[in-house]
Amino acid sequence: MLTQDTLLKFLKRHSAISIATLEREAQLPKNTLSGVINGSRNLNEKHLLDLFPVVTRYGYNHEAFSKARVVSIINHKGGVGKTTTTAYLGEALANQGFKVLLIDIDPQGSLSEVLNIRVGNTQVFHSLLNLEVPLAIQNVQKNLDIAPSDIELSSAEKELSNKIGGELRLRVAISKISKNYDFILIDCPPSLNILTITAMQASNGCLITTLPKSNSIHREYKELIRKQFSNLKVFDSEIKHLIDFQKAMIEHQTISVFNKNSEAASSYQNLGEEYLQSLDKRN
Ligand SMILES: Nc1ncnc2c1ncn2[C@@H]1O[C@H](COP(=O)(O)OP(=O)(O)OP(=O)(O)O)[C@@H](O)[C@H]1O
Ligand SMILES: [Mg+2]
């Protein structure tokens, strides 16, 4: 099955595919797809039927493109860049034109604080306790939304542990809004507690952030990780220790709003590109 929405999501993620080639292979009139991409026209049912086998040959899969890709940013250690990565990788993907939702599932509420977002009447906590309450979502900047949290979320730990299927509740909440986004990134607390498990249950994958042990053994450390976890994707992109990250956080600005030409902003842009390429290889 192919819809205009899922086709657009697929094309955004596979920008190397030539639109003219797709039109030719699906025998569509010239510029049909470019019109859809710039919003000046819609595809009819026949177009979609003709396009379906063509995009399938290029790796389209309805299951993958009808919903957002959900990624938990995890590490049980504190202060290893989880929140920073959630915010700025999210921003990098949003800057590439993807619709991104960040979910703060850390009672410290650092992600919400860093982005200068105050919780409203409801927050993630309420959606976990009562499945009828939709995730309270606020806009941060273009293409970038957040479901914020604060310390109130800490009481969810006990409540979720006492509920059968408690660890599946975030997954249920996300399933209701997933089609509105390309990517959903979840900022997890520094612990393997029920909140982190809840996030992982809702995710297609995890991104583990880590700090170098020391500069002198950094290269060996990376090689060791690659060897020990050969079944995991270890990113080549590295985020250096840069003062701009701390300055941006103090200003409550995202890194590309703080300085879009800085090394700090471009390092997350590079990570975003490498992440997108890693997905291309899979579907
Ligand atoms: N690449 C970097 N260069 C310099 N400072 C950084 C960098 N990445 C993060 N920081 C700073 O390090 C501190 C910890 O980062 P961050 O909050 O992202 O870690 P965390 O893993 O989310 O921590 P916690 O486990 O407490 O949630 C923050 O003050 C942040 O501004
Ligand atoms: Mg954090």
Counting ligand 1 atoms within 8 A of each CB, the residue from 245, 247, 263, 270 with the most, and so the one to mutate, is: 245
Q: Which residues of 256-274 are buried (b: 16+ CB within 10 A; e: fewer)?
A: bebeeebebbebbbbbbee
Residue ranges of alpha helices (H) inside the chain are: 4-13, 19-25, 32-37, 45-57, 62-65, 82-95, 110-114, 124-129, 156-161, 169-175, 194-201, 218-228, 243-250, 255-259, 263-282
Residue pair 107/154 in contact (Cβ under 8 Å)? The answer is yes
Counting ligand 1 atoms within 8 A of each CB, the residue from 74, 77, 84, 218 with the most, and so the one to mutate, is: 84
User: Are β-strands 69-74 and 183-187 bridged in parallel, bridged antiparallel, or unpaired?
Assistant: parallel
> What is the C-alpha separation between 159 and 32, in angstroms, rounded?
52
Closest-lying ligand 1 atom to the alpha carbon of residue 249: 31
Q: Which of 7-16, 208-217, 234-243 has the weakest average pLDDT?
A: 208-217
What is the percentage of the chain residues whose pLDDT exceeds 70?
A: 98
> What is the C-alpha separation between 243 and 142, in angstroms, rounded?
25
- Widest Cα–Cα separation across the chain: 61
| CA proximity to 273, closest of 6, 5, 15, 69 | 15
Residue pair 50/26 in contact (Cβ under 8 Å)? The answer is yes
What is the percentage of the chain residues whose pLDDT exceeds 90?
A: 79
Report CA-CA distances (Å) from 130 to 146, 163, 189, 205: 19, 11, 21, 25
How far, in Å, from the CA of 243 to the mean position of ligand 1? 11
- When the pLDDT of each residue in the chain is averaged and rounded to a whole number, the result is 93
Residues 6+ apart with CB under 8 A from 62: 1, 2, 6
Q: How confident is the model at residue 44 (pLDDT cuts 50, 70, 90)?
A: very high
Average pLDDT over residues 81-99: 97
> What is the C-alpha separation between 279 and 170, in angstroms, rounded?
23
- The answer to whether the CB of 208 is under 6 A from ligand 1 is no
How far, in Å, from the CA of 140 to the mean position of ligand 2? 18
Question: What does the DSSP 8-state code read for residue 234?
Answer: P
- The answer to whether the CB of 211 is under 6 A from ligand 1 is no
Model pLDDT for residues 115-135, shown as the tens digit of each residue: 999 999 999 999 999 999 999
pLDDT of residue 1: 87
How far, in Å, from the CA of 114 to the mean position of ligand 2? 10
Selection from 114-128, 203-217, 225-239 with the highest mean pLDDT: 114-128
State the CB neighbour count (10 A cutoff) for residue 5.
Answer: 12
Q: How confident is the model at residue 281 (pLDDT cuts 50, 70, 90)?
A: low
pLDDT of residue 66 exceeding 60: yes
- Extract the tokens encoding 136: 């309270």
Model pLDDT for residues 248-277, shown as the tens digit of each residue: 999 999 999 999 999 999 999 999 999 999
How far, in Å, from the CA of 41 to the mean position of ligand 1? 44
- The answer to whether the CB of 212 is under 6 A from ligand 1 is no
Backbone dihedral angles phi then psi of residue 202, each to the nearest 5 degrees: -90, 0
How far, in Å, from the CA of 193 to the mean position of ligand 2? 14
pLDDT of residue 208 exceeding 70: yes
Residue nearest to ligand 1 atom 1, measured at CA: 241
Residue pair 186/86 in contact (Cβ under 8 Å)? The answer is yes
- The answer to whether the CB of 269 is under 6 A from ligand 1 is no
Residue nearest to ligand 1 atom 25, measured at CA: 78
Separation of CA 146 from chain center = 11
> What is the C-alpha separation between 174 and 168, in angstroms, rounded?
10
How far, in Å, from the CA of 224 to the mean position of ligand 1? 23
Strand order in the sheet with 183-187: 138-141, 144-147, 100-104, 183-187, 69-74, 205-208
pLDDT of residue 215: 67
How far, in Å, from the CA of 164 to the mean position of ligand 1? 34
- Extract the tokens encoding 16: 């190397």
Q: How confident is the model at residue 218 (pLDDT cuts 50, 70, 90)?
A: confident
